[in-house]
């Protein structure tokens, strides 16, 4: 068991919520940030108020993130790991039919939301020589025809590598988790033969549990279906 604290964005459902459950089962305390106050409240009731903190906020707003980091430190004393998980896809993935307003919303979340999360939590992680985990995607490792979403995840993978190099200078680590297709609310239609959120959550826990001498920078998880 551990007294360590994990801060999770996009925590109210899917991968974020399952990671919270898996982390608490391993003895972590979790700070859960998302826009859905009702879902967060239900999750905290499930996990227990001593182990979990609900923080309603928008990761595209830097002030919300700085307030969330402060609230986490006020309750738990420190932040040992950050899981920048919040993200979105597109209804129309290609360029020709794509909606520029939808692109802007996605980039605000998938790119700037990651940057704001890391910026807001940087000093807290440095204080604990902590671990940063980013939700990437297999779409950020391969080329897909005209995929604007894939391009946003290429950013995450590139930024994650850069953060690994920076954080090693002060004893921290950064891991990018790259799932294939996952059966989550991310998709309108169920994907029963694909990965489950709990599969990705266990990959996050695997990264967090590696010994300090091991810097696991990228983990790819694909469905067998």
Determine the Cα–Cα distance for residues 11 and 24; give it in Å rounded to an integer.
Answer: 13
Determine the Cα–Cα distance for residues 210 and 1; give it in Å rounded to an integer.
Answer: 15
Identify the active-site residue in 149, 159, 163, 195.
Answer: 149
Nearest to 134 by CA among 151, 158, 98: 158
Nearest to 13 by CA among 51, 47, 39: 39
Beta bridge partners of 31: 7, 53
122 flagged as catalytic: no
Determine the Cα–Cα distance for residues 186 and 207; give it in Å rounded to an integer.
Answer: 23
Residues designated catalytic: 149
């Amino acid at each position: 068991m551990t007294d360590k604290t994990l801060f999770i964005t996009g925590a109210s459902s899917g991968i974020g919520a399952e990671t919270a459950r898996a982390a608490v089962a391993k003895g972590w305390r979790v700070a859960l940030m998302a826009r859905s106050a009702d879902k967060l409240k239900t999750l905290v009731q499930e996990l227990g108020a001593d182990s979990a903190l609900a923080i309603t906020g928008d990761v595209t707003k830097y002030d919300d993130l700085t307030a969330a980091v402060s609230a986490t430190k006020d309750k738990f004393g420190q932040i040992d790991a950050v899981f920048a998980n919040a993200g979105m896809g597109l209804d129309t993935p290609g360029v020709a039919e794509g909606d520029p307003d939808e692109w802007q919303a996605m980039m605000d979340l998938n790119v700037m939301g990651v940057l704001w999360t890391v910026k807001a939590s940087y000093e807290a992680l440095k204080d604990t020589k902590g671990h940063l985990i980013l939700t990437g995607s297999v779409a950020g490792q391969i080329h897909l025809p005209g995929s604007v979403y894939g391009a946003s995840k290429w950013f995450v993978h590139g930024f994650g590598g850069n953060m690994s190099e920076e954080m090693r200078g002060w004893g921290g680590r950064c891991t990018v988790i790259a799932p294939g297709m996952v059966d989550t609310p991310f998709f309108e239609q169920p994907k029963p033969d694909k990965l489950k959120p709990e599969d990705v959550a266990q990959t996050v826990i695997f990264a967090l549990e590696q010994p300090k001498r091991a810097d696991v920078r990228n983990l790819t998880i694909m469905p067998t279906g």
